[in-house]
């Protein structure tokens, strides 16, 4: 199978369907359903649209897994902060003035940690959506777009020889 010249053979309608699959990253969780519908309905009609939609499904599954991992990190930082804050306050009560101020300062600074984690979480989410929209624009312009890690692996998987039945 030759995957390199698929974009030059793709019609305008096929490029629009592939771009819609890529642009569905805007809708969290629902975009995955849209990509599945496009893949299920177009994979027999167009190899280009089928491959692009398959990439989008893998990309959005990775987005969901990274989102769940990020949410788990946020919860751990949130609960860890509020478990450590009373320890800083207890240390501040029995200490001298300088040590007490340092304990209170440490307790206050740890309250900002979950917000930093949430900020990183939001920035990564925006980057994921931006990369998906970039893929939609590239496909719509007629280029054969590949996601950085997912596209090559899917292409290798699709090019494997299938055993004869």
The segment with the largest mean pLDDT, out of 25-34, 67-76, 114-123, is 25-34
Q: How many CA atoms lie within 13 A of 99 on its CB side?
A: 7
Any idea how long the chain is? 165
The alpha carbons of the chain give a radius of gyration, in whole angstroms, of 24
Reported pTM: 0.74
pLDDT, the chain, mean: 81
| For residues 23-46, average pLDDT | 90
Burial class (CB in 10 A: 0-12, 13-18, 19+), 1: exposed
| For residues 20-34, average pLDDT | 90
Residue 113: phi and psi, rounded to 5, are -60, -45
Could you tell me which residues come within 8 angstroms of residue 57 by beta carbon, excluding any fewer than 6 positions away? 32, 35, 36, 39
37 has a pLDDT exceeding 90: yes
Q: What is the pLDDT of residues 88-130, one digit of tens each?
A: 666 656 666 666 666 667 667 777 777 887 888 889 889 999 9
3-class secondary structure, 49: helix
Query: Rounded to whole angstroms, how far apart are CA atoms 163 and 165?
Result: 6
CA 58 to chain centre: 10
57 has a pLDDT exceeding 90: yes
pLDDT at position 163 is 62
pLDDT at position 1 is 43
Q: Which residue has the tokens 């090559």?
A: 152
43 closest CA partner among 55, 28, 31, 32: 55
| For residues 24-42, average pLDDT | 90
Q: What is the pLDDT of residues 132-163, one digit of tens each?
A: 999 999 999 988 899 988 888 888 887 776 66
Query: Rounded to whole angstroms, how far apart are CA atoms 143 and 136?
Result: 10
């Amino acid at each position: 199978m030759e995957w390199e010249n698929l974009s030059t053979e793709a019609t305008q309608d096929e490029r629009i369907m592939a771009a819609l699959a890529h642009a569905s990253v805007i809708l969290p969780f629902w975009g995955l359903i849209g990509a599945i519908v496009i893949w299920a309905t177009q994979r027999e009609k167009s190899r280009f649209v089928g491959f692009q939609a398959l990439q989008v499904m893998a990309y959005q599954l990775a987005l969901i897994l990274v989102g769940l991992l990020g949410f788990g990190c946020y919860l751990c930082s949130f609960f860890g902060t509020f478990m450590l804050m009373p320890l800083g306050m207890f240390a501040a009560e029995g200490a001298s003035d300088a040590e007490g101020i340092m304990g209170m300062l440490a307790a206050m600074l740890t309250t900002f940690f979950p917000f930093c984690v949430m900020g990183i979480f939001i920035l990564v989410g925006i980057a994921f959506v931006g990369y998906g929209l970039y893929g939609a624009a590239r496909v719509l312009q007629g280029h054969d777009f590949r996601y950085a890690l997912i596209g090559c692996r899917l292409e290798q998987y699709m090019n494997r020889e299938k055993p004869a039945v």
